[in-house]
Amino acid sequence: MNNKLILTLTFLLILKSIYAQVFFFPAGLVASAIMPEHGFLPGKKFAYYSTIDRHDLKQAKFRVEVYDDRAKLKLSKTGCSDVEFTNSSEFETSECIYKLGQYVDTLLKQSNAILDLSSNDTLQIRLQGIDSRLIGFGYIRAHGICQINVKYHNRQQTYCIDITDADKNSPVSPNAFVTRKTATRIMASASMREVIEKMIIDLERNIN
């Protein structure tokens, strides 16, 4: 057994213990390490933000499957924004799918859902695009852009967001004293939160 295979199997065992209730289907070979918490420049640790509103999924059980469709789709931009992907942020790596999966796990549980791999109620979540951008001259805006497609029962829905540090749901204000790396990381996280919450809102309506 070669070293690459050993490393891959070890990584999968680690992921199994961390994300025991979420199935992951990354594109290509599993990488040797999870996306660096601090990227390649100084910045705060990646944070998981709670939903803006409280939701109650009434302990509904879901089998959650998270896919990474970015390499297949090769989107240049999302359906809700004219801002194009640069594909140069730390979130471009294939390991980003595990951040999204942990986010889904966290917010569904906070919304009183139960993640159960044996459930027949399957929730398929496909990451189609994500990026974080600093745009502007002089007065710069930090953008978080994310698009996912969700299949639940026989229905598919695409959720998309382009959130900036000037938006009311932003975890950071445009005047906050943070590094540019931290600002983009915060907004990327916020964009994940936004699309997942949109999904939860629709699930809540379906359950109620």
Give the tens place of pLDDT for each residue, 150-206.
999 999 999 999 998 888 888 876 666 556 677 788 889 999 999 999 999 999 998
Domain 3-207 CATH assignment equals 1.20.120: no
Calculate the CA 193 to chain-centre distance.
7
- Measure the CA–CA gap between 85 and 83, rounded to whole angstroms: 7
Greatest mean pLDDT range, 41-50, 51-60, 96-105, 166-175: 51-60
pLDDT at 98 over 50: yes
- Measure the CA–CA gap between 160 and 151, rounded to whole angstroms: 15
* Amino acid found at 114: I
Q: Which residues contact 180 (CB under 8 A, 6 or more apart)?
A: 41, 134, 142
Residue among 163, 78, 185 nearest 127 (CA)? 78
Query: Domain boundaries in the chain?
Result: 3-207
Instruction: State the pTM of this model.
Output: 0.80
Give the tens place of pLDDT for each residue, 111-121.
999 998 889 99
